[in-house]
Structure 1
Amino acid sequence: MDITLRSVLRERILSTPGHENTVLDITIGTDGAGIVSYNLANVWLDPSAPGFNAGSTALTDEEIVRAYLLVRLSEGLGYEADPGRLEIEHVYKPVGRPLGKGGRVDVLVRGAASDVESSDAFLFIECKAPSKFDADLKMIDGQLFRLSRQEPVLPKYLVYYTVELRDGSPFERLILIDTDAFPTFESWDAAGQPITDVLPESYGIASKRRYGNVPAASDSLSPLDEEAGEDQFSRLQTELHDVVWGGGGTNNNEVFVVITRLLLAKIFDEKETSPGDAYAFQRLGTAVHPESPAKLVQRLNALYKLAEDAYLALPKPSSGPAFDEARIAPEKIAYVVGRLESISVTENKHPGDILGDFFEGIIGQDFTQSKGQFFTPYKIVQFMLAMSDAVESAVETMRTSRDHLGRPRLPYVIDPSCGSGTFLIEYMKEIRAALTQPSVTDQLPARIKESHTTWFSGRAGNAWARDHLFGVENNYDLGLAAKVNMVLHGDGSMNTWISSGLLPFSHYEVDGRHNTLGSVRAAEDHPYRASRNEQFDLVISNPPFSIRLSPDEKKLIQTSFDVMRSGASEAIFIERWYQLLREGGRFISVLPEAVLDTSTGLGMREFLLKYFRMEAVVSLPYDAFRPFTSTKTAIVLATKRPVAEVRAFEKELELQRKLSPSAAAHTHFSATFAALEWNEPIFMAEPSSVGYKRRKGLSDVPTRNDLMAESDSQEQESVLSRFRRGYSDDHDAQLGFWTTLEAVASRPGLRLDPKYRWLWDFDGGVTLGSADRAVPLGSYLEIVALKKIAKGELTEERRLVDLELVEGRQGMITIEIPTVETIGSEKVSFDGADLIFSKLEPYLGKLIINPDPADIGSTEWVGLKIKGGVPRMLISYLLLDERLRDAYRRLQSGKRHARLDPKEMLELKVELPPAAEWDEINDYLAGERQKILNYRVEQVAVRDGIDVRLRTAIESG
């Protein structure tokens, strides 16, 4: 119920001279209920229509729309108020209508202009409440086309109609269909559902509205609708997807690209059309002869080309048409244009971010995410912005910093692999919201206020982003989305490039125009020996992991980078962040945890420690980016070191390498940190829950958010609250603890992953017992070099024990093990080992006790020999203890199938029971183990018995 709509339309109806010709009276109570009374002397009411009493019926939103239309027809558009001409509730046989309502047309106007005596239907009108207009569009076929066929002669025009309020005044929305051109729904649909949205006057010919860059409607042009609401855009989002996708034949990413390109063309059209001129993004022609879909697509391809050249800053023009008839039917394009042509997508008078939300909904609905191309969840983005002090830094920069011309400025922020622009959009929203608060603006000096007024002007208040916010995206589809996304959020800048984020900076010049990203500082006398940009205050990103670079990119990288030229993509992006940031600038990014913990990532860690002050590492759970990738990731926050610190580091590191040429990297770094007195604290955390659980194709499931409080009013200990409190002796493995550079350099590999640092920095490697009595596992075990077995044919048949054949935590192999004569990859022999331990996903606790020397298995198996007189069962089940298995997890490194270094495993410290109790405990463990083995044999026998019983029953039957 819309009481305001009912009240406004009632007042407009009853204040219209002559309204009583059709509508006698409308009553309405404070609760919105009321009665509409029609003048049956001039309006014919079907006697079989339900819900009426002598021309009166209950007031509803749809009924007030009908009453308004009747008065418009008779007193505004010149239709005769006569019961032979004007009908309501004409009842037909039910056709395509919901059960219970029957087949009725809301308003029927008879008599054609050429023959006023004619009883043929002229206007056949279905009225809708405003809230139902978009949702019920799918019912046009049944409620108009099918129902109207029961008239002896097909009505001239079918009309789908409503009235909603705009600035408190009535605003008509309608779809008018000329049945001379489109006698069936199928013919109208095949033509792309062309829309005429003006009611004809006095039995005249309907004319199609034309839209142009005009302030008010004239005889030739109308302005675009800037008041389309959230419901209308929400319906459009679904409708455009359904029509373009068409139930199949077009994959989601093609749907996404088509809609995004159409939006870019419309944005360009709205922003570039001169005042007084007609827009190009509309379907030309008449109601009877609309512009053909093929001709429309031809015009749109030309329009898109102009938009692409002006807005996308492509390294080279795209090839082929934007809207290829071989891939997408022109009728579908025509349909989308018809739905969008009257609505502005660059201006909207509603509060909030309706246009931006509309497009973000299209991204989430239509872009098929996959490994390497997936969107960072909002809660992660929100946390990263908070952790990097994005808002606080923006306020401080605005107050204290100046650009190269001495003018006030805001932080220069970039995402060099921006995807669809998620980080940039959320940054824009937070900065606008924070920096327009009176608590900020009231404290600004006059000169900064002048800049502030300019920065936060415009529809969305994001004019500042044109100079301060940058994005680069190599994937064309996502880069296009990022550009459209930025424009729809109020930033019409050229600062979103569809290009590689790893090109020489000169490649980001556009027609010789100076821009922040295109600036270059030559290497000159600098410890970093490649070109630098050094314009940006913040890099915030989630770069693609381990992508393959094109040959052209590889060639350019050789000349543009100094350290990581042949590394993984994430390594090259880390170096690019250094090039982008000014001294004291920060990056915060999602990185694969392999960067922080693997031996192959050592070079990246050395680069990070040398060129950045590491501030925080937050390891995310595997679920953070599932189902699109299960790669273990971490959020890393760091500040670029001053060049003087880098010079000092290089000089001291070179000295330490000369003093101890054979020492490991961590030893050299440790000595260098000590000599320079660098021992910076580093915050680390490993939260178990991040506020959501993702589901492919479904909405996220809310969970506890360990990262940060969900609202300002929520009191919650979190990773963010601990980080913001600063260094503390209050340590928690999940919510946060502090380590130091000295601790990082004290262990091999310079590992920066929180799980590993907790194990050594706080547990001291102790997993069982007290620290003063625990000894390394190496006191009881040593690694056995298992003999390698080359792939190919074996000299004899052997049992092959794969990892899945061993039960976790049990130390047992499944009862039946396959034998093989040929192996397809290298294996190891178990000969010579007392125990066989899996270094792959070691937290699962896969251990073989008393392995058969003749068995062979994967190279992931590690052979262990028992020493020190410790009994076999005692040491075996100790290795399977939950606390040991958690320690293995903290030792492991790599991507999803992580491994540990067996040598480090033997450094873990444990306390064993007193030696005098070893034999007793060992006997107990052996006895319990035998019980398990017996149960397993019995279980197999019972299961076999089930099969026998079933077969017996069948055979006896």
Structure 2
Amino acid sequence: MSRAYGSRRNMFCDWSVLGNEASVETFFVNRLLAELGYRDDQIKTKESLETLKVNQGRQRKLYRPDYALEVDNTIRWVLEAKAVDESLEPFVGQAASYCHQINASHRDGNPVTHFIMTNGELTELYEWDRQDPILSLHFKDFDGVSDKWVKLKEIMAPDAFASKRWALQPALFESSIEIRRASISEINAAFAWCHKFIYRRENYSYSAAFMEFVKVVFLKLLSDKAVHANPNVAVLKNGTLQAPAEEVRFSTAWIEKMEKESPNPVADVQFSNLVRDLEEEIRQRKKKRIFNQGEILDLSPETIKGVVAKLQDLDLYSMDSDLNGRLFETFLNATLRGKDLGQFFTPRSVVKLATRLADLQVRRDHVDTVIDACCGTGGFLIESLSDMWEKVDANPSLSAAEKVQRRDEIATQRIYGIDVAKEPALARIARINMYLHGDGGSRVYQLDALDKRVRSYATESHEVRDEKEEFKAIAERSGFDVALTNPPFAKEYARKTDVERQILDQYELAFVESGKSRKPISSLKSSMMFIERYHDLLRPGGRLVTVIDDSILGGDREKRIRSYVRDKFIVKAVVSLPGDAFQRSQARVKTSVVVLQKKYHPEEEQTPVFMYYCTRVGIDEVARQRVLPIDEENRRAAEAEIEEVSRLYQDFLNGHPDEAWIVPPEAIDNRMDVKACLPSAGRNVERWKEEGHQVLSVGEMLRLAFGAVEFSVDGQELIDRRNDIVIPAESEDLVTLLRVRYDGVAEAGETIAASDSTYDVLYKVRAGDVVISHINAVHGAVAVIPEELEGLVATKEYTVCRPQSGYHPYLIWQMLRTPEARADLLLSSTGMGRTRVDWSIVSKLQLPVPTEEISAAAIKAVEDARALERKARELYQEAAKGLGSSLNLDNEEARALLAAFKPPR
């Protein structure tokens, strides 16, 4: 900005003293407030003000102004100061939003009436709900006599507020609509209702009904956006908007008004106009296609009106960035179930964690280019956009104009998405998501990213072929800095069709070395193919941050995939996710987030690896609709864990690692999963010994009940277990199967003919046996057999043991179910999915032996508990018997009827 005023003065200061923001506040603002007549106790500075979430474009950020002015102990206006060379325009929105937030917290009206923006050279006065100034003063206008100064003092002096009534009247409009904020669960429930309503009334498939619903929601969001920008709209308690009914286009009132001109006005007017406007932007190459050329909203007027009535009072535009960013993804998952589509939609907290690990760079001299080549509905794209915009806003070296330019560059040139799905067309939904976040989705492509040649076909439209050529040119010309992604786990490419065979032939991983030749394999999972594809798309030094199935990191059959990774990448980080991280998608697969850096040259050596195991990330999103108090607690815990992992990883990148989370390069020579590389079984054995405890293996405290010998001596008693072995092929006896629950309780299961068993051997259990589940011991499925269950049979999925002399079964049972024992068993298991532990693993488990006093107390506690359980069962039986006999509710005829007509189990 030109310093045109030289040494000129106004009533507050000399122009030459004004420079940075601090000098504007000290020499100009503070003197202005005093001249307006405000006492010190009426002036609230930034440090004393509450930080609120305000709107900045489509983003939400934390903000508080430099000053707030009080009259009668109520904030009436706020002031934001900037340096003399900063433009005021980019900051108007956040000041207005701050006023809006304060007013929304007052039940009776809007106490904040104005805000002022100033950089010393220009001072602008705004009404709180307007984006254009009502008064503008330059430095020279503050002379004590100018008309503008007199007007400013008349409006903003304390006395001017003392007599103002700011309470809203009960009825603002003769006919109005209130649009209110709603919870995630309420919106999801409303969406599910609408989808089902369309599906049933219009006889569409689930997928087709969803796509029609997307069109309606698009119109709803555009309408809500217009309502927020409407100066005639009032803000009530908790941010509810009260708008004149005739000015809300997504409403039954608007439909009824327009029905005189069109039988289906939402479809014939609103949607047709939207398609026409988008078509023009496609023609100008500003946007990519969301709807087909000439596409219609193919719903009956009655159906549209029903959906509008359901949604019209819900404010979708003001949803927080997390919910808005996942709007379609959440609903799509709930209605079509990502599992059925062969892909799992990524939980918000996993997306946030992966984005933080990507360490996206936004500097003055460089901005990362990001790609997700299986972007789904755009979750990673939107999180990347948000992360990079935040870094732009936080960069003090950028001027306001540069920030605007850089934000636009990121939105339109630095974030790329691809998705192949056509039914539903996920790429188009991602474009809608990006459109609603300030970008037209101009870099989201619908094509098969795994086709390295990005081939076009004569049957495709010119638009589709142009889109493919555009992406191919970009990929070949420049490449990408970061791939941030979650490839589908279940999808496979096989050589059964020509198209997939031709794609597989492009992949190094689709062949195995056989002597001196290369042998093609019959099929390959797309998640493995994407590793190679991203290697092609990344620049040297580029980073692949991906959610990955743990079987790729540690499974025996995937060794060659890991070999490829070690050859092509430097493994920077592996962060294990909880087993339930994808429960919302009903996906039972253990996953991790890995960070791989493309090598600059083949000889580049592996460096130490950051590893961490998460316990909270991902489990904050549950499959159920109903919201419980624990959900908010889980969200906070996931956010805290993301912060912790991000901090530790940044310390690692900056050369100050916490050694507890670092493994040496050789640790990943075979397996790469965190369980195999970072923690180790028996990690507390030396500590126990140092503390004076005797440490024994489980094999020294238990022995197999059925071993190589047919009988053994337990104390002085001879126990012959030969008759306890049942060979199903040789027996027609009925047997009752034993079950062991996670809580350590044994119970009777199904009764079957022994010959019907699929196992070649069964074992009869005796009272006092310790039974260990091979599959679920890590969950606590270890039990002591009580007397009443003696004779039940255990399959080969259990190990049946007897205590060695001097050890009580209750004591060993409790020790095996402790978190330490279960954790060591988990670490000792070799499986990537279900963690099986058999006797060869259990017998080696080392545990401290408690003192006689502790042992006696533990055994007595269990015996007392079992006695109480028996007493409880007796009391239940007595109560039932007394009731049945006194009222004749237990009689022979009733028992006969049950026996005769009871349905089969």
Residue aligning to 1:389 = 359
Contact 2:432 2:441 in 1 (8 A): no
Q: Does 1:724 align with 2:650?
A: yes
Residue aligning to 2:747 = 814
Contact 1:297 1:333 in 2 (8 A): no
Which of 537, 540, 543 pairs up with 1:583? 540
Contact 1:841 1:892 in 2 (8 A): no
Partner Cα separation in structure 2 for residue 926 and residue 433 of structure 1: 59
Residue aligning to 1:487 = 435
Contact 1:843 1:889 in 2 (8 A): yes
1:585-607 Cα offsets, whole Å, 9 max, x none, are 11222234444444455444444
Residue aligning to 1:612 = 569
1:99-155 Cα offsets, whole Å, 9 max, x none, are xxxxxxxxxxxxxxxxxxxxxxxxxxx433xxx4557xxxxxxxxxxxxxxxxxxxx
Q: Please tell me the root mean square deviation across aligned C-alpha atoms, in Å.
A: 5.9
- How many Å apart are 1:795 and its aligned residue? 2.6
Relative to structure 1, is the Cα distance of residues 696 and 32 closer, same or farther in structure 2, using a 3 angstrom cutoff? farther
- Pairing 1:839-918 to 2, within 5 Å after superposition: 839-847=774-782, 856-862=793-799, 873=809, 878-892=815-829, 897-900=834-837, 903-912=840-849
Contact 2:370 2:480 in 1 (8 A): yes
- How many Å apart are 1:840 and its aligned residue? 0.9
Partner Cα separation in structure 2 for residue 388 and residue 730 of structure 1: 19
Contact 2:288 2:441 in 1 (8 A): no
Relative to structure 1, is the Cα distance of residues 730 and 238 closer, same or farther in structure 2, using a 3 angstrom cutoff? closer
- Pairing 1:68-467 to 2, within 5 Å after superposition: 126-128=174-176, 132=177, 246=197, 249=200, 254=208, 256-261=210-215, 289-293=260-264, 328-332=299-303, 361=327, 364=330, 368=334, 370-372=337-339, 375-390=345-360, 393-395=361-363, 399=365, 410-437=367-394, 439-441=396-398, 456=406, 461-467=407-413
Partner Cα separation in structure 1 for residue 733 and residue 659 of structure 2: 55
Secondary structure at the aligned position of 1:577 is classed as: helix
Relative to structure 1, is the Cα distance of residues 809 and 435 closer, same or farther in structure 2, using a 3 angstrom cutoff? closer
Relative to structure 1, is the Cα distance of residues 561 and 800 closer, same or farther in structure 2, using a 3 angstrom cutoff? farther
Relative to structure 1, is the Cα distance of residues 717 and 929 closer, same or farther in structure 2, using a 3 angstrom cutoff? same
Q: Does 1:60 align with 2:60?
A: no
1:875-901 Cα offsets, whole Å, 9 max, x none, are 665434442122223344667744346
Partner Cα separation in structure 1 for residue 321 and residue 743 of structure 2: 55
Partner Cα separation in structure 2 for residue 340 and residue 871 of structure 1: 67
Secondary structure at the aligned position of 1:417 is classed as: coil
Q: Does 1:757 align with 2:711?
A: no
Secondary structure at the aligned position of 2:820 is classed as: helix
Relative to structure 1, is the Cα distance of residues 579 and 706 closer, same or farther in structure 2, using a 3 angstrom cutoff? farther
1:293-328 Cα offsets, whole Å, 9 max, x none, are 399669969996997995999999999996585xx3
Partner Cα separation in structure 2 for residue 899 and residue 626 of structure 1: 21
Letter in 1 for 2:772: F
Secondary structure at the aligned position of 1:249 is classed as: helix
- How many Å apart are 1:414 and its aligned residue? 1.0
Partner Cα separation in structure 2 for residue 288 and residue 512 of structure 1: 39
Contact 1:486 1:492 in 2 (8 A): yes
Relative to structure 1, is the Cα distance of residues 493 and 779 closer, same or farther in structure 2, using a 3 angstrom cutoff? same
1:765-793 Cα offsets, whole Å, 9 max, x none, are 87965599756656677888999x99997
Secondary structure at the aligned position of 2:377 is classed as: coil
Residue aligning to 1:201 = none
More helix by share: 2
- How many Å apart are 1:943 and its aligned residue? 2.8
Secondary structure at the aligned position of 1:814 is classed as: strand
Which of 662, 668, 689 pairs up with 1:738? 662
Partner Cα separation in structure 2 for residue 791 and residue 556 of structure 1: 53
Q: Does 1:472 align with 2:418?
A: yes
Q: Which has the higher contact order (CA 8 A, sep 6+)?
A: 2
Residue aligning to 1:79 = none
Partner Cα separation in structure 1 for residue 752 and residue 880 of structure 2: 25
Identify the range of structure 1 (506-515 vs 466-475) with the bigger mean alpha-carbon deviation. 506-515
Relative to structure 1, is the Cα distance of residues 955 and 800 closer, same or farther in structure 2, using a 3 angstrom cutoff? closer
Identity %: 17
Residue aligning to 2:466 = 511
Residue aligning to 1:947 = 880
Identify the range of structure 1 (827-836 vs 605-614) with the bigger mean alpha-carbon deviation. 827-836
- How many Å apart are 1:413 and its aligned residue? 0.9
- How many Å apart are 1:424 and its aligned residue? 0.5
Which of 484, 492, 499 pairs up with 1:540? 484
Q: Does 1:701 align with 2:644?
A: no
1:213-232 Cα offsets, whole Å, 9 max, x none, are xxxxxxxxxxxxxxxxx99x
> Whose Rg is larger?
1
Residue aligning to 1:45 = none
Identify the range of structure 1 (628-637 vs 475-484) with the bigger mean alpha-carbon deviation. 628-637
Contact 1:830 1:836 in 2 (8 A): no
Contact 1:240 1:336 in 2 (8 A): no
Which of 599, 613, 623 pairs up with 1:685? 613
Contact 2:577 2:592 in 1 (8 A): yes
1:64-92 Cα offsets, whole Å, 9 max, x none, are x5xxxxxxxxxxxxxxxxxxxxxxxxxxx
Contact 2:482 2:543 in 1 (8 A): yes
1:851-880 Cα offsets, whole Å, 9 max, x none, are 99986444432466989x885747665434
- How many Å apart are 1:546 and its aligned residue? 2.1
Partner Cα separation in structure 2 for residue 424 and residue 908 of structure 1: 46
Letter in 2 for 1:844: H
Contact 1:828 1:859 in 2 (8 A): yes
Partner Cα separation in structure 1 for residue 691 and residue 567 of structure 2: 34
- Normalized against structure 2, the TM-score is what? 0.57
- How many Å apart are 1:470 and its aligned residue? 1.4
Relative to structure 1, is the Cα distance of residues 439 and 427 closer, same or farther in structure 2, using a 3 angstrom cutoff? same
1:177-202 Cα offsets, whole Å, 9 max, x none, are xxxxxxxxxxxxxxxxxxxxxxxxxx
- How many Å apart are 1:399 and its aligned residue? 1.2
Contact 2:765 2:791 in 1 (8 A): no
Contact 2:775 2:834 in 1 (8 A): yes
Relative to structure 1, is the Cα distance of residues 725 and 363 closer, same or farther in structure 2, using a 3 angstrom cutoff? closer
Identify the range of structure 1 (259-268 vs 358-367) with the bigger mean alpha-carbon deviation. 259-268
Query: How many residues matched?
Result: 649
Relative to structure 1, is the Cα distance of residues 704 and 800 closer, same or farther in structure 2, using a 3 angstrom cutoff? same
Partner Cα separation in structure 2 for residue 240 and residue 290 of structure 1: 29
- How many Å apart are 1:432 and its aligned residue? 2.3
Contact 1:691 1:706 in 2 (8 A): no
Contact 1:463 1:491 in 2 (8 A): no
Partner Cα separation in structure 1 for residue 742 and residue 220 of structure 2: 59
- How many Å apart are 1:939 and its aligned residue? 4.2
Partner Cα separation in structure 2 for residue 799 and residue 507 of structure 1: 62
Relative to structure 1, is the Cα distance of residues 286 and 376 closer, same or farther in structure 2, using a 3 angstrom cutoff? closer
Letter in 2 for 1:890: L
Q: Does 1:562 align with 2:508?
A: yes
Q: Does 1:825 align with 2:758?
A: yes
Secondary structure at the aligned position of 2:539 is classed as: strand
Contact 2:362 2:391 in 1 (8 A): no
Partner Cα separation in structure 1 for residue 644 and residue 390 of structure 2: 24
